[in-house]
């Protein structure tokens, strides 16, 4: 019996995957959440009280799209990291890393944005680093094959 070890991708491959997932998530938000923001701001500008009757369904749809953004960003991060780093990334690890990265951006990114913003991602680079660290720190999987 021969055992082979397959490790996770390296840090830079995971960083490339995290960046691809971040850009994909941002495009998803721009394409799908922008119409919801436009509709709610239009109703607010018109000042109609009956315009907010369907607000619960709009909020529910926005929450579903936000969760879909996390899942799609994790899927893209998983596959791009695996392609760039020639290693396997589990979806659970990628999803956990994306959620941790988004929480980091929520709590730390606003403080960093004013001090050290990067041109493409702004203050979100802190979350991207966290995602890359979590994805690249995956332990090696043992793949047993019969000899």
Q: Are 6 and 141 in contact (CB under 8 A)?
A: yes
Residue with tokens 């994306």: 98
Domain range enclosing 114: 2-145
pTM over 0.85: no
Backbone phi, psi, residue 141, to 5°? -95, 140
Confidence at residue 74, expressed as pLDDT on a 0 to 100 scale: 92
Average pLDDT over residues 120-144: 75
Lowest-confidence pick of 14-18, 100-104, 112-116, 124-128: 112-116
Tell me what the pLDDT averaged over the chain comes to: 77
Task: Answer whether residue 99 shows pLDDT above 90.
Answer: yes
Residue 2's pLDDT is: 61
Count: domains in the chain: 1
31-45, 66-80, 91-105 — which is least confidently predicted? 31-45
User: Comparing C-alpha atoms, which of 39, 78, 72 is closest to residue 58?
Assistant: 39
User: Across-strand partners of 4?
Assistant: 143
Encoded tokens for 108: 């730390």
Whether 38 has a pLDDT exceeding 80, the answer reads: no
* Per-residue pLDDT, 96: 93
Q: Tell me the pLDDT tens digit for each residue of 104-127.
A: 888 876 676 666 666 666 667 788
Distance between CA atoms of residues 71 and 141, nearest Å: 23
């Amino acid at each position: 019996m021969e055992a082979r070890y397959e490790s996770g991708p390296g840090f830079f491959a995971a960083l490339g995957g995290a960046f691809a997932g971040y850009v994909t998530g941002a495009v998803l938000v721009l394409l799908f959440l922008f119409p919801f923001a436009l509709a709610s701001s239009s109703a607010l500008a018109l000042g109609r009280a009956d315009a907010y009757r369907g607000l619960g369904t709009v909020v529910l749809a926005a929450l579903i799209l936000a969760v879909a953004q996390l899942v799609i960003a994790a899927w893209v991060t998983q596959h791009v990291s695996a392609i760039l780093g020639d290693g396997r990334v589990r979806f659970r690890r990628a999803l956990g890393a994306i959620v941790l990265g988004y929480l980091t951006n929520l709590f730390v990114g606003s403080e960093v944005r004013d001090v050290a913003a990067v041109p493409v991602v702004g203050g979100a680079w802190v979350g991207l680093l966290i995602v890359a660290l979590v994805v690249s720190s995956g332990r090696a999987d043992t793949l047993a094959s019969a000899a």
